[in-house]
Structure 1
Amino acid sequence: MFLLREVETQAIASQQQIALTRTQQAAKQREMRMAQLTRTEISSLPSNTNVYEGVGKMFISLPVAEMKGKLETQIKELESDVEGLGKRLHYLEVSQKNSKDHIDRMLRGGAGA
């Protein structure tokens, strides 16, 4: 009975972690789409256009090329984060499935005895 409760607790914890990971992944994907959109918008601007980056409560003027570079770096980091969260999500889903399978086996074994 103790083992069953422990496995149930693991399954619940996995479910909570899955929800949290999905939320984090969605947030990173939104952030990445925003950076991609911004990159697309500034790519259409002439190279001598003033662009500004928000820093705290102020804005700093940057050359278009530097802003594009920052956005490229940000997009690559976000892609990596999303990929890492995808791997974590897969692990958690497999872990949860294994916990449920284990619970089912324990219940079937207990019912047959």
Structure 2
Amino acid sequence: MAIPNEKLQALLEEIQAKAQFSSQQLGIVRTQLASQARKKRMLELSTKELDALPGATPVYNGVGKMFVGTSTQDVKKEQAREAEAVLKEIENLKKKENYLETTLKNSQEHMDALFKRGG
């Protein structure tokens, strides 16, 4: 039983739209992953620099347009919290990337199947 041309065309357009959307979202997610990786690297480098400082070294934290003196331990704790948040965000983005890659692959397979069957 053959699918009517109109329905086949509508189905093909729907699959193409889904594939295009997945492709766009995949690009966005990969950009976000790269950004989070940069944040993670910056946190690692600044933590390494803080570890190299003597304990009594004055450290300042930016608050708006001014700087407030804080201890190195407080800065390290804040960076540890930021690093944890970045790692969670990276994990979530990787899951989203995997989902979008699967969706894109499935859409392409469905289009191929339609062309083979309809052609």
Alignment of 1:76-91 (within 5 A): 76-91=84-99
Alignment correspondent of 1:46: 54
| TM-score normalised by length of structure 1 | 0.95
Within the candidate set 2, 17, 20, 2:10 is matched to: 2
Within the candidate set 76, 88, 91, 1:68 is matched to: 76
Q: Which amino acid aligns with 1:57?
A: K
**Where in structure 1 do 4 or more consecutive aligned residues deviate above 4 Å?**
none
Runs (5+) with no aligned partner, structure 1: none
Shift of 1:47: 1.2
Shift of 1:55: 2.1
Larger Rg: 2
Runs (5+) with no aligned partner, structure 2: 1-8
Counterpart check, 1:110 vs 2:118: yes
Aligned residues: 111
- Identity in percent: 36
CA distance, structure 2, for counterparts of residue 12 and residue 55 of structure 1: 42
CA distance, structure 1, for counterparts of residue 59 and residue 66 of structure 2: 13
Query: What's the secondary structure of 2:62's corresponding residue?
Result: strand
| TM-score normalised by length of structure 2 | 0.90
CA distances 1:21-77 after superposition (whole Å, capped 9, x unpaired)? 000010011011101110110011111111112222221211000101111111111
